Chain A
Amino acid sequence: MNALSFIPLLLALVVSPLLPGIINRTKAVFAGRRGQPLLQTYFDLWKLLHKGAVYSRTTTWLFRAGPMLGLAAVLMAVTLVPLGNFPALIAFPADFFLFACLLGLMRFFTVLAALDTGSSFEGMGASREVFFSALAEPALLVALATLARQAQSLSLSTIFSRVSGGHWLQAGPVLVLVLIALVVVLLAENSRIPVDDPNTHLELTMIHEVMVLDHGGPDFAFILYGAALKLWVLAALVVGMVVPDTGTLWLNLILSVSGMFAVAVIVGVVESVMARLRLLIVPQLLVGAGALAAMAFLLGLNK
């Protein structure tokens, strides 16, 4: 742990709500609209934090605890993820297993809070969420394990500092496959197209958004902020693989942050050029991502 490792944490806390704004702006540009302000998520958070709340009579304390536990879990996860070449605040061997499990904890309580409302729509979303993430989790673990074997280290910070330009020249195909798998996991875990459509109008077709229908006020602010942070940490995995070490602190910082924005732009482009997959096909996509990651592992086995 050194002073530099506070940089990824602080950046995540402050800049992460910008990512949804960038995605939406990209989509607006594609559609020829002006689109909402880049800082819209900040405005939403500010507004929600100043509201009261309305709770369903069906719900219990669990409904109120869900968003708080989810935010706590993702905040903990933020401390484990490096940004580009800046090491994470907490780094130890097998830290990415804790990372994956923290995201699991966040999801588990979001799902339970959704079930607490007794609404069939939220039950539907919860059911899909646990199903898809059960398939996405092995893909994430295999992708990270492949990187671990390439870098001969089990800690995210060391892995990303070792996977650099030279590595891409040596083991390009392996890293490309891992990158594709990670991007698919990123899209699935953050409920983006092609897995879930955050802009749909029909509750029946939603996954994540429908689970949080009943939350409002500060609780919903926690959920929005947690979702932005989750997008940030998963994007940081992708960026960590790609961004090279320039040797200069400021250049590294600029490269990493612009890498994060680039990931947001890519997500926006994906959302603009393709439609959401049918729910029955999503498992194939996720298993496919896992298979790609496993193939990458086999390709890079003689490390």
Chain B
Amino acid sequence: MTLLLFAMAVLLLGAVGVLLLGGLRRNGVSFVAAASVVVAAVLGLIPAIQVLAGGETLQLRCPWPVPFGEFFIQLDPLSAWFLLPVLLLSALCAIYGVGYLHSQAGKRPLGPLWFFYCLLVLGMTLVLLARNAVLFLSAWELMAVSSFFLVTFEHERESVRSAGWIYLVATHLGTGFLLVFFILMGRETGSMDFTVWAEKGIHTPELAGILFLLAVVGFGTKAGFMPFHVWLPEAHPAAPSHVSALMSGAMIKLGIYGLMRSLTFLGAPSIWWGWLLLCIGLASGVLGIIFALAQHDLKRLLAYSSVENIGLITAGLGLGLLGVSYNQPLIAILGFGGALLHVLNHSLFKGLLFLAAGSVAHATGTRDTNRLGGLLKKMPWTGVLFLIGAVAICGLPPLNGFISELVLAGASLKAVIATPMEMAMAGLLALVGIGLIGGLAAVTFAKAFGTVFLGEPRQPLDSTPHEVGIAMKAPMLLLAAGCVGIAFGAAWLPDWIVPIASRLGGLEPEKISAMVQTPALVLAIVSICGLALVILFVVIALVRRGLLSGRTVGAADTWGCGYARPTARIQYTASSFVQPVTTLFRWLLGAHRQLQRPEGFFPTKASLTTETPDLTHEELYRPGFLKMNWGIAKLRWMQQGHVQLYVLYIAVTLIVLLAWKFR
């Protein structure tokens, strides 16, 4: 615990130090901040790994002079599991940020950015450790507000300000639901202590159901469940890339953490909880990936793909709950375990992809996939690293994304052959979802990688692209190594995950350990298959080299099917690549098309632009908020601008409240 406290103190010191330095030495600011985040991460990861490896739960209680508040922090395996990606990604993104912001150093003050970065890391750590509702909500707000300031770093741009605004509104609407959730919990149990909540549980199913719904909406807004995801595709592209990587890789996972933690408070789950989470998860997954593939902006694409991955995690959670409800412990373990594993995996490859996308934007000055092309030659490292992230996120063997999708598919397949028909239906639904999401993810990332890194540049760029520096390369390399490492070390994962998963499902660990031997063996076999795949590839490569040695290997132009003067503009673009899919789903996507047809005998001008705005934003939130505005406008006569009048309002309110109290 001491180490964790030290870690938090270092973060706080870093934040304050950066503020003090901010005006003085501009490039030094980044170093100080990154150093403090890295030190804090190392200090924090040690106890987290100890707890995961079977060490005892750490805790600390101090009085805190806030009504109902207590500084009560605890590190149990569930918190430690989420602390891993949070701290790891915070440190790596901080290092990346040093290189990323280097060019900005002279232009704008970096102090505030790093101040809020340190606070965001501190907030996320505290959210995971807090065991008192007031402390938790304070940390939650710290996280939300500091990330808002990070999103609006480039606040001189109109789009960034509006994205920040959407984020701020969305996150506070979510917090509103959480406030009600915590107050109801507190009233029911007479305490604000998480450990008390977990012991007592909620015993009336109706109340538990309402609390569950509140938690799903409140935490789901942060995690990005459809249709509460609306802030994600706005905020992620607006933020600086290392911040988007941290937000997408770590921060939205805290929504999942909150949901998992609340499940431990609510007692035995009703059957409809599992179904609800499964449906939300699959809907978020499929819709998320369909919207992702329609995007032209690389970072917006990645943001939608986060919605998809959160969907997969939630579907696993739903399968786990159904497993608990239908008394199928192995399905419960596989569902929860797959969800937990995907949390870690997604933070690794999504962090990697956002950082690589940031490098592309940094080097070329654009994120528009329709303009880019051929970057693999100019940026070989970034290209390979993006490819590793892309293969991992599509759930293709042998990387880590495949491992967690295999566990999730294992849960659904176990459900498919289970006796209760409802369970089998749920399993089939999940399997179809996983298959479809996997296929569409392959479309999305073949497009993303293929059009950005392969072929020729589709349009001339403002600057000549160059490979990024070591400070930006090293964090990406480490994340890619993590993706590979988890894939080949999969056999050891059950030791860490199964205890957490069995606690989530309220199952006895002794019974479970015999049950999970087969899944653990499967993971080992799959790792070996992955290794065999690599060996096969190497053997084939050697054979090819042997065959080609001593023969003529020529170079020519790409075969244009008889056309002699091909140009880069003839290439398939990102939009044309996904056109068949977007046409199939056009009733859903509602893409805006502006087409100017070529006219006359010698047409000179023709153009086509497409844009896919968010469906829920356009159809649900915008009209909703407009209506609300209209309603509120009716009350505008109360706003006269006279201070006396406002004092009168306050006095009247107080009197009414008093009268109500003593009625």
Question: Measuring CB to CB, which residues of chain A are less than 8 angstroms from any residue of chain B?
Answer: 49, 51-60, 62, 64-65, 68-69, 71-73, 75-76, 79, 90, 92-94, 97-98, 100-102, 104-105, 107-108, 111-112, 115-124, 126-128, 130-131, 133-138, 140-142, 145, 148-149, 152-154, 203, 213-214, 217-219, 222, 279, 283, 290, 294, 297, 301-302
Rank and list the top 5 A-B pairs by shortest CB-CB distance, nearest first: A123-B572, A134-B439, A115-B450, A118-B455, A52-B551
B:416-445 near A, CB below 8 Å: 416-417, 421, 424-425, 427-428, 431-432, 434-436, 438-440, 442-443
Complexed CA–CA distance, A149 and B409 (Å)? 14
- Asked if B541 and A115 make an inter-chain contact with CB atoms under 8 angstroms apart, the answer reads no
Complexed CA–CA distance, A130 and B417 (Å)? 30
- Asked if B548 and A97 make an inter-chain contact with CB atoms under 8 angstroms apart, the answer reads no
Are A128 and B526 also in contact (CB < 8 A) when A72-B537, A116-B454 are? no
Question: A115 touches which one: B406, B454, B561 (CB < 8 A)?
Answer: B454
- Asked if A53 and B431 make an inter-chain contact with CB atoms under 8 angstroms apart, the answer reads no
B376 within 8 A of A: yes
When distances are taken between beta carbons in the complex, the residues of chain A under 8 Å from B533 are 72-73, 76, 102
Complexed CA–CA distance, A49 and B521 (Å)? 39
When distances are taken between beta carbons in the complex, the residues of chain B under 8 Å from A117 are 455, 558-559
Complexed CA–CA distance, A107 and B442 (Å)? 9
Complexed CA–CA distance, A165 and B568 (Å)? 58
Closest-CB distance, B222 to chain A (whole angstroms) = 30
5 more contacts with CB within 8 A, not counting A97-B409, A149-B424, are A68-B544, A72-B536, A117-B455, A118-B571, A203-B561
B:49-84 near A, CB below 8 Å: none
Complexed CA–CA distance, A121 and B577 (Å)? 11
- Asked if A124 and B454 make an inter-chain contact with CB atoms under 8 angstroms apart, the answer reads no
- Asked if A53 and B548 make an inter-chain contact with CB atoms under 8 angstroms apart, the answer reads yes
Closest-CB distance, B375 to chain A (whole angstroms) = 10
B104 within 8 A of A: no
Mostly, the B contact residues are helix
Complexed CA–CA distance, A64 and B540 (Å)? 12
- Asked if B544 and A90 make an inter-chain contact with CB atoms under 8 angstroms apart, the answer reads no
Contact with A along B383-414 (1 / 0, CB 8 A): 00001000100111100001001100110011
Scoring B428, B434, B435, B449 by chain A CB atoms within 10 A of each residue's CB, the highest score goes to B435
Complexed CA–CA distance, A150 and B479 (Å)? 42
When distances are taken between beta carbons in the complex, the residues of chain A under 8 Å from B557 are 56-58
Closest-CB distance, A118 to chain B (whole angstroms) = 4
Q: Of all chain B residues, which has the CB nearest A136?
A: B439
- Asked if A115 and B451 make an inter-chain contact with CB atoms under 8 angstroms apart, the answer reads yes
When distances are taken between beta carbons in the complex, the residues of chain B under 8 Å from A94 are 406, 409-410, 413, 522
- Asked if B456 and A118 make an inter-chain contact with CB atoms under 8 angstroms apart, the answer reads yes
When distances are taken between beta carbons in the complex, the residues of chain A under 8 Å from B558 are 56-59, 117-119, 214
Closest-CB distance, B569 to chain A (whole angstroms) = 10
Complexed CA–CA distance, A33 and B33 (Å)? 77
Q: Of all chain B residues, which has the CB nearest A119?
A: B558
| Interface-located stretch among B21-29, B156-164, B488-496, B579-587 | B579-587
Closest-CB distance, A301 to chain B (whole angstroms) = 5
Complexed CA–CA distance, A52 and B556 (Å)? 13
- Asked if A75 and B536 make an inter-chain contact with CB atoms under 8 angstroms apart, the answer reads yes
Complexed CA–CA distance, A214 and B560 (Å)? 9
Complexed CA–CA distance, A148 and B402 (Å)? 21
Chain B interface size range: 35 or more
Question: A148 touches which one: B413, B536, B541, B578 (CB < 8 A)?
Answer: B413
- Asked if B529 and A127 make an inter-chain contact with CB atoms under 8 angstroms apart, the answer reads no
B377 within 8 A of A: yes
Complexed CA–CA distance, A90 and B450 (Å)? 33
- Asked if A152 and B559 make an inter-chain contact with CB atoms under 8 angstroms apart, the answer reads no
Q: Of all chain B residues, which has the CB nearest A301?
A: B421
Question: A93 touches which one: B374, B387, B518, B559 (CB < 8 A)?
Answer: B518
- Asked if B391 and A108 make an inter-chain contact with CB atoms under 8 angstroms apart, the answer reads yes
- Asked if A126 and B446 make an inter-chain contact with CB atoms under 8 angstroms apart, the answer reads yes
Question: B394 touches which one: A55, A62, A104 (CB < 8 A)?
Answer: A104
Q: Of all chain A residues, which has the CB nearest B536?
A: A72
B547 within 8 A of A: yes
- Asked if A92 and B525 make an inter-chain contact with CB atoms under 8 angstroms apart, the answer reads yes
Are A134 and B436 also in contact (CB < 8 A) when A101-B402, A119-B558 are? yes
Complexed CA–CA distance, A142 and B427 (Å)? 10
Q: Of all chain A residues, which has the CB nearest B537?
A: A72
Q: Of all chain B residues, which has the CB nearest A138?
A: B435
- Asked if B552 and A127 make an inter-chain contact with CB atoms under 8 angstroms apart, the answer reads no
When distances are taken between beta carbons in the complex, the residues of chain B under 8 Å from A90 are 525, 529
- Asked if A102 and B397 make an inter-chain contact with CB atoms under 8 angstroms apart, the answer reads yes
- Asked if B446 and A130 make an inter-chain contact with CB atoms under 8 angstroms apart, the answer reads yes
B:563-613 near A, CB below 8 Å: 566, 568, 570-572, 576-581, 584
Q: Of all chain A residues, which has the CB nearest B334?
A: A94
Interface CB pairs A-B, < 8 A, 24: A52-B551, A73-B533, A76-B536, A90-B525, A98-B529, A101-B405, A104-B438, A104-B439, A108-B391, A111-B446, A115-B446, A116-B376, A118-B374, A118-B456, A119-B558, A123-B577, A126-B450, A127-B576, A134-B440, A134-B443, A136-B439, A142-B432, A153-B417, A218-B544
When distances are taken between beta carbons in the complex, the residues of chain A under 8 Å from B416 are 145, 148-149
Contact with A along B490-532 (1 / 0, CB 8 A): 0000000000000000000000000000110110011001001
When distances are taken between beta carbons in the complex, the residues of chain A under 8 Å from B568 are 118
- Asked if B555 and A54 make an inter-chain contact with CB atoms under 8 angstroms apart, the answer reads yes
When distances are taken between beta carbons in the complex, the residues of chain B under 8 Å from A140 are 435
Complexed CA–CA distance, A285 and B207 (Å)? 47
When distances are taken between beta carbons in the complex, the residues of chain A under 8 Å from B413 are 93-94, 97, 145, 148, 154
Q: Of all chain A residues, which has the CB nearest B376?
A: A60
- Asked if B450 and A111 make an inter-chain contact with CB atoms under 8 angstroms apart, the answer reads yes
B316 within 8 A of A: no
When distances are taken between beta carbons in the complex, the residues of chain B under 8 Å from A100 are 435
Q: Of all chain B residues, which has the CB nearest A128?
A: B580
B240 within 8 A of A: no
Complexed CA–CA distance, A239 and B446 (Å)? 33
When distances are taken between beta carbons in the complex, the residues of chain A under 8 Å from B434 are 141
Closest-CB distance, A121 to chain B (whole angstroms) = 6
Closest-CB distance, B135 to chain A (whole angstroms) = 42
Complexed CA–CA distance, A132 and B139 (Å)? 47
When distances are taken between beta carbons in the complex, the residues of chain A under 8 Å from B628 are none
- Asked if B572 and A98 make an inter-chain contact with CB atoms under 8 angstroms apart, the answer reads no
Complexed CA–CA distance, A71 and B373 (Å)? 27
Closest-CB distance, A7 to chain B (whole angstroms) = 19
When distances are taken between beta carbons in the complex, the residues of chain B under 8 Å from A54 are 553-556
Scoring A55, A57, A115 by chain B CB atoms within 10 A of each residue's CB, the highest score goes to A115
Complexed CA–CA distance, A64 and B449 (Å)? 16
When distances are taken between beta carbons in the complex, the residues of chain B under 8 Å from A138 are 431-432, 435-436, 439
Complexed CA–CA distance, A120 and B551 (Å)? 30
When distances are taken between beta carbons in the complex, the residues of chain B under 8 Å from A130 are 439, 442-443, 446
Closest-CB distance, A142 to chain B (whole angstroms) = 6
- Asked if B570 and A120 make an inter-chain contact with CB atoms under 8 angstroms apart, the answer reads yes
Complexed CA–CA distance, A127 and B518 (Å)? 39
When distances are taken between beta carbons in the complex, the residues of chain B under 8 Å from A214 are 558-559
When distances are taken between beta carbons in the complex, the residues of chain A under 8 Å from B373 are 118
When distances are taken between beta carbons in the complex, the residues of chain B under 8 Å from A122 are 572
Complexed CA–CA distance, A71 and B507 (Å)? 44
Q: Of all chain A residues, which has the CB nearest B429?
A: A294
Closest-CB distance, A90 to chain B (whole angstroms) = 7
Q: Of all chain B residues, which has the CB nearest A111?
A: B446
Are A152 and B417 also in contact (CB < 8 A) when A118-B374, A123-B576 are? yes
Scoring A49, A53, A136 by chain B CB atoms within 10 A of each residue's CB, the highest score goes to A53
- Asked if A101 and B396 make an inter-chain contact with CB atoms under 8 angstroms apart, the answer reads yes
Question: B529 touches which one: A76, A121, A128, A218 (CB < 8 A)?
Answer: A76
Complexed CA–CA distance, A93 and B6 (Å)? 46
Q: Of all chain A residues, which has the CB nearest B396?
A: A105
Complexed CA–CA distance, A53 and B550 (Å)? 11
When distances are taken between beta carbons in the complex, the residues of chain B under 8 Å from A136 are 439
When distances are taken between beta carbons in the complex, the residues of chain A under 8 Å from B559 are 56, 117, 119, 213-214
Closest-CB distance, B285 to chain A (whole angstroms) = 13
